[in-house]
Amino acid sequence: MGKKLTGLLFLDCLLHLLAFAGFWGGENGLNPGEIISNVATSPLSYLLAFLGAFIWATYCTVTNKYARGFNGITVFVLLTAVALWFHYFLTPQPAMIFSLPVIAKLFTAALTLGFAYAAWNVGILHGNVTIMAVGSYFTPVMSSALAALLLSSPLSFSFWQGAVMVCVGSLLCWLATRRR
């Protein structure tokens, strides 16, 4: 996009790779043997996560550049819902059990996801992308911390170490690519 690469950007990439490698290593952090073992036990999960990161980055870039003010998230969510319902009806599934708590959780999750995607898309189209980038790194860390608290499942030191590395890396990326 007309910006020159700097050494900070390469440092940022290295920091992000080390942070993610630490996540993949599990409790022992950056351990190549454990990383390979973790990926080998569930290669599809890692492949989908990897592809999802690229798809999301592409979506955000393309939306910002070509949307011309059109918020396409509604179409995206509808197509996703259709695909998931097709999958549900075409594969063996346990029977759905509806109760008031289940319905309340379903509507709460649907509203939360709907508003989150809508807000993200409005931000991409009309907002400050730098602030959104900072929030996009901060939010999953806080979400993980809240989930760990609710599930009484403490997060490992390597998780927090990786989270700090990703956040510092995002700041380095911002410094390397901001307009001077």
- Dump the DSSP string for 130-156: HHHHHHHHHHHHHHHHHHHHHTT-PPP
**How do residues 107-131 score in pLDDT, each as one tens digit?**
998 898 888 888 888 888 887 777 7
Structure tokens at 143: 């979400």
**pTM for the whole thing?**
0.57
Amino acid, single-letter form, for residue 37: S
CA pair distance 136, 153, nearest whole angstrom: 23
**How do residues 118-172 score in pLDDT, each as one tens digit?**
888 888 888 777 777 767 777 777 888 888 888 888 888 777 877 788 778 777 7
The number of residues in the chain equals: 180
Domain boundaries of the chain, sorted by first residue: 7-70+98-177
